[in-house]
Amino acid sequence: MTDIASTRPTSMRDLAAARKREERRTRAFLLAPAMAILIFAASGPLLIVLVYSFLTPGDYGGVVWEFSLKAWFNVFAERDFFTEEIELADAHLSIMWRSIKLSLMTTVICLIIGFPTAYFIATRPRGTRDFWMLLVIIPFWTNLLIRTFAIMELIRNEGTFNSFLVGIGVIDTPIQMMFTEFAVLVGMAYVYLPLMILPIYASMERFDFSLVEAGYDLYATRFQVLRRIILPLVKPGVVAGSILVFVPCLGAYVTPRVLGGGKNMMLGNFIELQFGQGRNWPLGAALALTLLVIVMVALIFYVRAVGREEVRGHG
């Protein structure tokens, strides 16, 4: 009896350990294809771009296999054509600045519109929430270009908005909205709004609204309930939504191209230009990598800032 009692748990433990090893092996095997795709598909092209940024541009596009730092130099600086003096590449920097500025503004606009929208949907009766979410998602099924043209139809000089204002006599000449930063902002906010609403809604749906009542019960005003109870608890959704809007905005191409025109170029358009008419692939590659760095730095700052607040908020 004692023998059985003492040997059985040991063999059971062995068995469990063996099963765990087996499980680990199976998991590694199942993960392998995904990992392979991620590694080759993500880092492969990136590696090519990195290499190209250190080469010399070919005359008709493409690259000549000759090492050069010129592209990286040109990202930030330029040599004056006549005096040969080195000065900051104002044009490039202003495009970068505009990209960052418009992306930040778009994120804020999406947050201001998206948060109440998500709150509204999350507080509807359970049965009708799907309907509201559908309304948010449907535009997403439409081609990006078509959605952008729809905005254009609204704001162009002969468009819906201006015709209406002129029609009711508020203005007599249409307001120029197309080909301005405003147009780019409206377009990007419209296009990326669902990306803000979805994650905020996801965390709001999990939010326990009896906590709001508890807040009111404990003398918190509406604003205090929002700031002290709702916001801290749906913050993961707000963070995710902000990242999901900010990142694609930085690299946006179609919307600034259609609504902003040539004057209001953003980084995405400028990069495309280098691979097209500019015939400067190394510069395009270097700019693309710069964009990547901007995104990463911005994300690190953002996540750090949010994390610090977390520590402070929860003492």
Partner 1 sequence: MIEIDRVTKVFGSAADAFRALDTVSVTIRQNEFFTLLGPSGCGKTTLLRVIAGFVDPTEGSVTLEGQDLLRLAPYERPVNTVFQSYALFPHMTVAQNIGFGLEMQGKPGEEVRRTVGEMLDLVRMSELADRRTSEISGGQQQRVALARALAPRPRVLLLDEPLSALDFKLRKDMQLELKRLQSETGITFVFVTHDQEEALTMSDRIAVMNAGAIRQIGSPRDIYDHPAERFVADFIGDTNFLEAELLTVEGERAEVRLASGREIAARAAEGGAGQGPVTVAVRPEHADLAPEGEGLLPGRLGDVVYFGTDTHFHVDLDAGGRFVVRRQNQPDQAEARGRGDRVSVRFGPGVGQVLRD
Which span (25-33, 154-162, 218-226, 241-249) binds partner 1, by CB under 8 A?
Answer: 218-226
Applying CB under 8 A, what is the total number of residues that bind partner 1? Answer: 20
Please select the residue that binds partner 1; options are 79, 101, 129, 228, rule is CB under 8 A: 228
- Of 188, 204, 229, 285, the one binding partner 1 (CB under 8 A) is 229
**Cβ contacts of residue 100 below 8 Å, gap of 6+?**
250, 294, 298
Is 122 a binding residue for partner 1 by CB under 8 A? The answer is: no
Distances (CA, A) of 118 to 114, 121, 198, 266, 302: 6, 5, 8, 29, 22
Residue 103 burial (C-beta neighbours within 10 Å; 0-12, 13-18, 19+): buried
213 counts as binding partner 1 under rule CB under 8 A: yes
* Choices 37-45, 122-130, 213-221, 261-269; region in contact with partner 1 by CB under 8 A: 213-221
Residue 203 CB, nearest distance to partner 1 (Å)? 12
Binding mask 233-252 for partner 1 (x = CB under 8 A): x-------------------
Residue 224 contacts partner 1 per CB under 8 A: yes
Residue with Cβ nearer partner 1 (33 or 315): 315
Q: Which residue shows structure tokens 């080909």?
A: 179
Contacts of 263 (CB under 8 A, 6+ apart): 179
242 with 193: CB under 8 angstroms? no
Structure-block tokens of residue 39: 């590694």
Residue 64 identity? V
Please, what is the minimum distance in Å from the beta carbon of residue 118 to partner 1?
Answer: 19
Q: Which amino acid is at 113?
A: I
Angle between helices 90-122 and 281-314 (to 10 degrees): 40
Residues forming the site for partner 1 (CB under 8 A) = 208, 210-211, 213-221, 224, 228-229, 232-233, 313-315
